[in-house]
Structure 1
Amino acid sequence: LFFNTYESSDIYQMAQKEVAQICQKNNRQSGFFTQCHVLTRRSFTNMSRDLGYYWLRLGIYISLSIVLGSMFSHIGVDNGTIQVRSLMMFVASFLTFMAIVGFPSFVEEMKVFERERLNGHYGVTPFGIGNTLSALPFLALVALIPDAITYFLPGLHHRYQHFLFFVIILFACMMLVESLMMIVASVVPNILMGIIVGDGIQGIMILVCGFFRLPTDLPKPLLKYPFYHIVFHKYAYQGLFKNEFLGLTSPNAEAGNGGSPTITGEEILKQTWHFETAYSKWVDLAILFAMVVFYRVLFLIVMKTTEKVKLVMVKFMSATRKERTQVTVNPSATPSATPYCADKRQWQ
């Protein structure tokens, strides 16, 4: 009697309407900008709480920077410091190579994304945008503090605009490495295999960037064309070296042989490092950021392509399993009942 009275009351009708409205709102998918905002905030919270994502990397970077800066402290501007200033190569290599530390955390984030993607909560593009925006403050922090130690301890170019360019270059490099590892994670979801593949790709990039072997000495098939021109380390090194050497004048070691008493930074870049000086360091920086955009777009393309391939494979496997079930239940052919003659070894 009590339940019948409640169901016939106005309160019950109002409650039913509110429940229907709530269900309708929940079934309605949120907008694109709302998805980006929520995913950015959630990803930022996860990154700030996960020690292995950026905080551990920051501690390792600071330790490496202190050791590296102490080894090359107060290098001066004489001719012998030309080779010593190559420490920028170690900065660009080590600090970017260690960006792979955050790969396991990103793989776990990818697993959450795949589950929520299957439920239709949001798409690949909001996830990529949210991950990119949430990582920017941490990457800026990781680039600023260790680079300041590495830059001022050795006494590199004493101008703050050069220091800011130094930080921005390494910031772009770390974004590139993270973008590369995102692509690897979308193809190789296993953590161990992903780290191995990522290390291998970065190792090849470092080897063919034009530092260990001068660009003019690289074998032209494959290593110089196209690898040398598509690896981001080439533009990072050239930007860092141009930032350091252009405007710098050092004593010339060959002055006693009739040479000029001083040597300019541009001559060092051309004669010693064989770098391209036809364009400025800002072009190198622009190329790096263009590669960041390209890698992020490539990540979205790979993710969407992987989804379509998985869908096709699931449909194919489902159709194959269905055909096998039909054949098992309703076989199309029945065995012959004709007796077999052993003497003539043929069917009668």
Structure 2
Amino acid sequence: MSDVEADAGHSEQYFRNDEYDSFMWEDISVTVETRRPKQKKTILSDVSGIVKKGELLALMGPSGSGKSTLLNALAQRTPPNRSVTGISYINGCKVDEQLLRSRAAYVDQEDTLTGSLTVRETLEFAARISLPSSVDESERLMRVDTLLRRFGLMDLADNKIGTPIKKGISGGQKRRLSVASQLVTAPRILFLDEPTSSLDALTAWEVLYYLKQVAEKFNLIVILSMHQPSTRMFELCDKLLLLTEGGVAYNGPVRKLQLYFQDSGYEIPNDMTMAECAVHSINTDFVSEVQRHRQAVTKECWQKSVQLQNLRRELTEEKASGVIGFIALEDRWRSDTFAVLSALIHRSFIKSYRDVVAYGIRFAMYLGLAVLMGTVWLRLEPTQGNVQSFVNAIFFGGAFMSFMAVAYIPAFLEDHSVFLRERASGLYGAAPFVVANFIVGVPYLFLISLLFSLVVYWMSNFRPGAAAFFTWTMWLFLDLLAAESLVVLVSSLMPIFVVALAGTAFANGLWMCVGGFLVPPQTLNPFWRYLFHYIDYQSYVFQGMMINEFKSRNYTCPGTPDGGCDCIYGGNSGTECEMEGAAVLGTYGFSSTTADRSVWIMIAIIAGYRGFCYLALRMRAH
């Protein structure tokens, strides 16, 4: 009994429930839009092929030949700026895109993993998110242990993958984990983009050898792109699709490649292996025009070949044997929405307290800002001369708390990359991701707001009283919720760190300018006032904090030589030289009755940011 039989015999029935006898495609072409209007460039032209159950098909060719383009087209993962023509079939029937995404797995060339999770946790969450509810917990754990053992990761099971601050497992180990995390779902078709890149020769062969065993044992269909495999790796593949300049140079069994070369007039050098010849024969980038015609196995050779005629006959026979119509997705392969959401929340929560980039650094930043503010605005007395200082502190606290939310961008972009990979595999949509991200962030943002307020509020001597303190904390909490929601939205629209940082910083600068502190709302330029001021969440935070501080507090005014009072904001509030804080509110055009309305507007703005984030992710994910 082989290792695969021993490891996975318990799940054989589950794997065999819906075997796919074949996966084939006809005349797949891909075009991309150019900068010139109404002009498109063809990057893949009329590629056909077929892979049977238990077989490994290798896509090979020089850089730019179309390997990844074809792999993405077959896996229904083509970017929006590219158009695909052609038809794919499973068991001779046209493929439903939803079915293919749910019963196929795709391993990207770049490893997109959550760095704060352990190796075991990564596989466990992959199982929780992707496997249907019909698979019980013991089955999931068995699969995880099997993959850990067979991919040589058992000794690293409790090691964290690694973050920019703390190094974790190696690049080769991450590659093995990426492949394993896709196999845990028991896919019927497996697409892999350079699965052995960054691996040493022995590990690369072991990974490919295990894939071959799994494919044969459980009748999987495996399609992978490769650049320059070793002879041992090349011999593990059943079929080869050789691409050159977006077209086919060979498509057939690996064992017949040498005969095809000889029939095409290509002389096989004695010092080259067949794996080397496969790429060398079509690589015309570094040869002269004369050598190109002498040595290249061209697309024209393939068009005239007997192998192409045989392939077309096989495709026709396979279609004739299929049932007319589409293969549709069955409910038993659908993941439970609540289970997926629960797993996403759990995974994000683990990351939130392990990865200091997510919230740890922000706690330190905000606490440092609190100490700074508390010592600068230390024990301000409620006097007319300190009114402007109180106003400045309110603006500074709210605005810079909001601005410093940009520290969340790196953590979110990591989550965003994982989401795109899992979304492309059809595991879940944008809604569970947005909801989970929001739920996990709420307690941390509230704790940050509370700790910041405990330091700043009493050190600066804002209006005393528990109600006033918790109202201040509430406004800071809403401020941070809106600021983080803005970060999430901008990062979803522009998922590049520097671009997202610049976009968020610009937005915060805009909100500071039109928030009502630098220029009172009633004197603000009508363009900025009506277009931006009323959707500026910082303006409502500033207004709410101002009302909280000034609506029920009096401030002493200096006396005059004639025994009067010099209250520049308004008259006395009694026999002593005091003024009512409400007079300060009047200079900014604020009314104490608008605070409740502002809370609901803040909630609407937060919901709006998250809603637009959902739409952005839904449109951009593919």
TM range (shorter): 0.7 to 0.9
Runs of at least 4 residues off by over 6 Å: 21-24
SS in 2 for 1:120: coil
SS in 1 for 2:352: helix
SS in 2 for 1:40: helix
**Quick check: which one's strand share is greater?**
2
Determine whether 1:279 maps to 2:593.
yes
SS in 2 for 1:110: helix
Return the offset for 1:257: 6.2
Determine whether 1:149 maps to 2:463.
no
Determine whether 1:76 maps to 2:392.
no
The answer on whether the counterparts of 2:489 and 2:613 sit within 8 Å (CA) in structure 1 is yes
Return the offset for 1:141: 1.4
Alpha-carbon distance in structure 1 between the residues aligned to 2:599 and 2:458:
21
Alpha-carbon distance in structure 2 between the residues aligned to 1:59 and 1:14:
49
SS in 1 for 2:590: coil
Return the offset for 1:280: 3.4
The answer on whether the counterparts of 1:184 and 1:197 sit within 8 Å (CA) in structure 2 is yes
Higher alpha-carbon deviation: 191-200 or 277-286: 277-286
Return the offset for 1:90: 0.7
Q: What are the Cα deviations for residues 240-299 of structure 1, in whole angstroms up to 9, with x where unaligned? A: 01011111112245854694333212111003xx23206332222221122111111111
**Which residues in structure 2 correspond to 1:6-45 (within 5 Å)?**
16-17=12-13, 19-20=15-16, 25=135, 28-45=333-350
Task: Say which of 602, 605, 610 aligns to 1:296.
Answer: 610
What residue is the counterpart of 1:335 in the other structure? Answer: none
Task: Say which of 211, 218, 240 aligns to 2:517.
Answer: 211
Residue type matched to 2:546 in 1?
F
What residue is the counterpart of 2:584 in the other structure? Answer: 268
**Which residues in structure 2 correspond to 1:189-338 (within 5 Å)?**
189-220=495-526, 222-253=527-558, 255-256=564-565, 259-260=571-572, 261-271=577-587, 274-277=588-591, 279-307=593-621
Taking structure 1 as the reference length, the TM-score comes to: 0.79
What residue is the counterpart of 1:325 in the other structure? Answer: none
Residue type matched to 2:453 in 1?
D
Q: What are the Cα deviations for residues 60-111 of structure 1, in whole angstroms up to 9, with x where unaligned? A: 1111111111111111211112111120111101111101101011111100
Determine whether 1:129 maps to 2:453.
no
Higher alpha-carbon deviation: 38-47 or 16-25: 16-25
The answer on whether the counterparts of 1:40 and 1:133 sit within 8 Å (CA) in structure 2 is yes
Residue type matched to 1:276 in 2?
F
Alpha-carbon distance in structure 2 between the residues aligned to 1:15 and 1:51:
39
Identity of aligned residues (%): 24
Task: Say which of 474, 480, 502 aligns to 1:174.
Answer: 480
Taking structure 2 as the reference length, the TM-score comes to: 0.45
* Alignment CA distance shift 1:54-1:15 (3 Å): closer
What residue is the counterpart of 1:51 in the other structure? Answer: 356
* Alignment CA distance shift 1:241-1:64 (3 Å): same
The answer on whether the counterparts of 2:547 and 2:590 sit within 8 Å (CA) in structure 1 is no
Residue type matched to 1:147 in 2?
S
What residue is the counterpart of 1:60 in the other structure? Answer: 365
Q: What are the Cα deviations for residues 111-136 of structure 1, in whole angstroms up to 9, with x where unaligned? A: 01000100111110000111111111
Alpha-carbon distance in structure 1 between the residues aligned to 2:369 and 2:11:
63
Alpha-carbon distance in structure 1 between the residues aligned to 2:415 and 2:14:
35
Alpha-carbon distance in structure 1 between the residues aligned to 2:435 and 2:10:
41
* Alignment CA distance shift 1:48-1:74 (3 Å): same
Alpha-carbon distance in structure 1 between the residues aligned to 2:337 and 2:11:
31
The answer on whether the counterparts of 2:556 and 2:579 sit within 8 Å (CA) in structure 1 is yes
Higher alpha-carbon deviation: 294-303 or 250-259: 250-259
* Alignment CA distance shift 1:217-1:253 (3 Å): farther
Q: What are the Cα deviations for residues 199-236 of structure 1, in whole angstroms up to 9, with x where unaligned? A: 0011011111110111122111x211121111011100
What residue is the counterpart of 1:316 in the other structure? Answer: none
Higher alpha-carbon deviation: 240-249 or 251-260: 251-260
* Alignment CA distance shift 1:76-1:128 (3 Å): same
Alpha-carbon distance in structure 1 between the residues aligned to 2:481 and 2:447:
13
**Which residues in structure 2 correspond to 1:79-158 (within 5 Å)?**
79-86=384-391, 87-158=393-464
Alpha-carbon distance in structure 1 between the residues aligned to 2:414 and 2:372:
32
**Is there any run of 5+ residues in structure 2 with no aligned partner, and where?**
3-8, 18-130, 136-184, 188-332
SS in 1 for 2:555: strand
The answer on whether the counterparts of 1:238 and 1:275 sit within 8 Å (CA) in structure 2 is no
Alpha-carbon distance in structure 2 between the residues aligned to 1:278 and 1:250:
17
SS in 2 for 1:263: strand
The answer on whether the counterparts of 2:395 and 2:542 sit within 8 Å (CA) in structure 1 is yes
Greater RCO, CA 8 A, separation 6+: 1
SS in 2 for 1:291: helix
Alpha-carbon distance in structure 2 between the residues aligned to 1:78 and 1:14:
78
* RMSD value, Cα: 2.5
The answer on whether the counterparts of 2:547 and 2:585 sit within 8 Å (CA) in structure 1 is yes
Alpha-carbon distance in structure 2 between the residues aligned to 1:74 and 1:252:
18
**Is there any run of 5+ residues in structure 1 with no aligned partner, and where?**
4-12, 312-348
Alpha-carbon distance in structure 2 between the residues aligned to 1:257 and 1:184:
49
The answer on whether the counterparts of 1:44 and 1:134 sit within 8 Å (CA) in structure 2 is yes
* Alignment CA distance shift 1:285-1:14 (3 Å): closer
SS in 1 for 2:495: coil
SS in 2 for 1:224: helix
Alpha-carbon distance in structure 1 between the residues aligned to 2:468 and 2:592:
19
Alpha-carbon distance in structure 2 between the residues aligned to 1:121 and 1:203:
38
SS in 2 for 1:213: coil
